[in-house]
Structure 1
Amino acid sequence: MGDVDVSGGAGGLEARTEELELLARRFGGVATDCLGSSTSLHGYLVDGAVTTSVVLDPSGWARFETELVGALDGLHGLSWLGLRCGALDGELRAAAAAYRAVDQLDGALHDEVLGLVRLPGAFVAAGTQLAHSHDPAAAAQAGIAADPMAADVVVNELGLPAALVAAAAALPDGHGLAVPLGTDSRGIAGRPPRRLTDVVGDLAQRNADDAHHGAIDVRIITLAGGGRRVIVDVTGTKSWSPGRTSDVTSLTTNGRALVGRNTAYEQGVLSAMHKAGVRPEDDVMLVGHSEGGMVAVTTARDAVRCGRFHVTHVVTAGSPVGRTVGELPRSVQVLALENSTDVVPHLDGVANPDRPNVTTVSSAHGDHTVDGDHSLDTAYHRVAADTQASPDASVRAFLGSADDYFRGTHVTTHTFQVVRHY
């Protein structure tokens, strides 16, 4: 087992800013009630009936005025209580805002700072490889493997995310259709998964079969008691075309999904689930590699929002989802697998957020080439094995929550090709 680095998840640290803000609103409500009552009660100090009573009972009037002023404006009086609750309201709101700002800053800068820190070592690795092999391409790949977080620096310095947000609506996306290809019972596709490596293995088989691009599958898993679970596998980029193309794995999908826009690929995934007979009450796990992981996240988000499907889990492998995974509701548990020498998860320019429902696990595998470090077979199957064996609390919590997906007695794997039409 390789060493793993885990962030987020059930075992991570979190400041519950929503709860801080809820508590702040309650203190604010108390402040409003106290100060409103205090203002109303101050009126009795100058009430006509009270002021005329000074003639009949001067000492009684003085005692009444003194005691009421003390109760309202003295230490721990009603006005004091209202002002103190108002101050607590402001302090809690400021604390929530500060926690949120620090969290956002950490996500935005964590990988970028580490990328800069490790940059000298990357230059050394590249120089050493160049001196040894005299191959500039091999030297560049050695440098990238030594410091994949440098991509965060490049992405942000070039302003690529902001440019994609501005251009996303104009990218020619069309709409996606799912073409049924039949069922697959070969090898791992014909066996119910028993562990995380089986999930990644079936995704790898679908990826290997993706001759026409956009291959996905919908696996209907039958449990011993008659219940069902569904695993949907979404493959990654195969086309580097930036223009109009029927291939949903193109750069258009990458650009839109990176910044959280829905895509024709997502439409095709949802259509495939419907055609495979997935029911609204079925628990669903979406699994994706690279671009497929980005599409899995936006598909889960939109399916849950509209109530069309009950997505409970998402597993991504080598996917840049830091800008979008935080949009998922807390009911969706996410496991983001990252090979620590793979540059692709850093192409969004931010680290994955630290959330109770988002667990990010990284370990080092691959062959120190861009393709090899991003491959399901040479890198991410091993990262999945490391994750499965990890005793980390967040990892155990995720796998425990997904246990029913690994208890099937039978599986039917429906295969589809998603295509884009205009």
Structure 2
Amino acid sequence: MSTHASSHGTPPAARKIPPGAIRAYIASLTGTSLEYYDFAIYSVASALVFPKIFFPSGDEFVGLLLSFSTFAIGYLARPIGGIIFGRLGDRIGRKHVLVVTLLLIGIATVLIGVLPTYGTVGAVAPLILVLLRLAQGIGVGGEWGGAVLLSSEFGDPSRRGLWSSAAQIGPPAGNLLANGALAVLAATLSNDAFLSWGWRVAFLASALLVVFGLVIRLKLEETPVFKNIEAHGERPKAPIAEVIRTQPRGLAAAILSRLSPDILYSLFTVFVAVYATKELGMTTGTVLTAILIGSAFQLVLIPAAGALTDRFNRRLVYGIAAAATAVWIPVFFLTVQSRSVVVLTIGVVVGLALHAFMYGPQAAFITEQFPARLRYAGSSLAYTLAGVVGGAIAPLVFTALYQATASWVLIAVYLAVASVVTIVGLAIGRDPKTEEELALVKADEAG
């Protein structure tokens, strides 16, 4: 890997911002933030609320596993969304698909907020919860690829790390909003009130957020890259099949690169909430606050990391963060045994910072593995398939490993293996090739 970005003549700071880029960046950022708010409140609720009200069991561990299983279903459904919306994104355009995914996730989340509990309607409650979680996952599976392309295809291709980071800010921003809402509710309500109706407020509030995001997206134009592809009659007829047939190396590189950041994020935003409260005896409010602070730092670190990889080799920066992850996990678990709130908070902040330095450039790296005409399908397929073997099963694996051994050691080994796999993916991937995008943008401006 070279240690510098390829040069395009004009210094990055001197380049003009392309028309529509700022609006597209904001649309990508706000849309994914709102959708991941919906996804994040489910993640936290699956650890703290749902085992008690939707999966009652005499064994608390069994209830937790059942709840995490519905969490995993959201990830397992993502490839369905990636296939459906990835194909449509390369066939009919980015904008229309992103409106549909926003509505799909928003409606599902609001319905979860009014869903009766197991005590009211019995087994029907968890069944409907699974179906709504499925809808959430399908929506997120189609959302990510389009949101990345929305900002990156309006932006300067030689600064793709920065422009594509808009969609990457969505998860921590959504997580910040979700954990903030849940932390306030948990702090102001009694435990009984929070379990009875308080958690529903966070789900129902997403209705207002989705309306706001919808208004922004409906005002957008189609990206210049897609318009040029459409004008030249280069839209693929079967983009998913073509990606699998012609881009196997790029697909493998993109999938493998996702594993370490995906699993790491699940550790510090889902499992830590269980571990710190159940095993260390810390309060729910304390843990949520630590995650809140870590997510706040990510809002700055993610675009900074993306921009950094526009100056230095993207794969190198990404790979260093993956290697550092393998080192940090045992340090975190060793130090957090002190049960110190400060130590826990620092540990979570550092963990999410390492995630930021992988996740920030991740969107640019993944999209660079595919040609522009197959980029929505290829990126969506890679992103969602990686989620199945990464974030989908990670909370279940964490819980099972700890339950079987009463130790965090195997969890650290799990993260170390994921880091190695990610580094392998980076090694077989390709560096940026922006000439084709620059040509498409110039042709659009000339036309």
TM category, shorter: under 0.3
Q: Could you state the TM-score of these two structures normalised by the residue count of structure 1?
A: 0.25
Q: Considering fraction of residues, name the structure with more helix.
A: 2
Q: Could you state the TM-score of these two structures normalised by the residue count of structure 2?
A: 0.24
Q: Considering fraction of residues, name the structure with more strand.
A: 1
